[in-house]
Chains A and B, each alone.
Chain A
Amino acid sequence: RKEVEQDPGPFNVPEGATVAFNCTYSNSASQSFFWYRQDCRKEPKLLMSVYSSGNEDGRFTAQLNRASQYISLLIRDSKLSDSATYLCVVLTSGTYKYIFGTGTRLKVLA
């Protein structure tokens, strides 16, 4: 089983739709969680950190469920510019190894 698993997609959604991605992790000692966005042929860029109580940044909401060991990303009112691959990233307590999921591809359609 992979340490971090994501549905690769693609998720094809119309503009204005709400879309949600989940990411599961296997190590219960995981400490820090992030969502990164990667555009085609570009480097990954931080979208948002994920806090225990959940957090929101504009149209984006991230949540953490430690009991079930998953994090989620909700995008409201999707824009064409949201089309990208979304990477789930997990850092385990006491380590420095960031574990990257293989990403979920989102395509927002006009």
Chain B
Amino acid sequence: GAGVSQSPSNKVTEKGKDVELRCDPISGHTALYWYRQSLGQGLEFLIYFQGNSAPDKSGLPSDRFSAERTGGSVSTLTIQRTQQEDSAVYLCASSSSSSGNTIYFGEGSWLTVV
């Protein structure tokens, strides 16, 4: 696609429920990132995928968070048993060395846990 696409754009969920957030990176971009940003705060790295290599999960805040990337393209971030502190915008980004290592973001998925 022309840009990084994320869905849903907004999600309100009850505490304790599971949520799935989807990211479709720019076509041809091998690197995919998930970040989290709470209101008024900086970007927090969550996880990184590069091609078929094992992902870097070092930024995932707890074992309630997981992510996968199927076929080297679309990625899903799953949050199990959501807590109120999970409320944030979840930003997906992709990059490619052929694009000068510039990282491009999707519009984000705004998650509110009530």
Chain A interface residues toward B at CB < 8 A? 32, 34, 41-46, 49, 87, 89, 91, 96-98, 100-103
Given A100-B43, A101-B42, the answer on whether A45 and B103 have CB atoms closer than 8 Å is no
Complex contacts, B100 vs chain A, CB 8 Å: 32, 49
The residue of chain A having its C-beta at the shortest distance from the C-beta of B91 within the complex is A43
* Given A43-B91, A44-B43, A103-B42, A98 and B105 contact (CB-CB distance below 8 Å): no
CB nearest neighbor in A for B43: A100
Contact (Cβ within 8 A) B102 A49: yes
In the bound complex, do residue B105 and residue A44 qualify as a contact, i.e. CB atoms below 8 Å apart? yes
Which residues in A have their C-beta under 8 angstroms from that of B45? Answer: 97-98
Check A98 against B41 for contact (C-beta < 8 Å): no
Binding site for A on B (CB under 8 A): 31, 33, 41-43, 45, 48, 50, 56, 89, 91, 100-108
CB contact between B31 and one of A87, A89, A96, A102 (< 8 Å): that residue: A96
A-B contact count (CB 8 A): 39
**A102 adjacent to B103 (CB under 8 Å):** no
CA distance A89 to B42 in the complex (A): 11
Contact between A46 and B50, CB atoms less than 8 A apart: no
Contact B103 A89 (CB under 8 A): yes
User: Bound state CA distance, A42 and B9, in angstroms?
Assistant: 11
Decide if A96 touches B50 in the complex (CB within 8 Å): yes
Chain B residues contacting A46 (CB-CB under 8 Å) are 102-104
**Which residues of the partner chain A approach B108 to less than 8 Å between Cβ atoms?**
43
Cβ contact within 8 Å between A100 and B42: yes
Check B102 against A34 for contact (C-beta < 8 Å).
yes
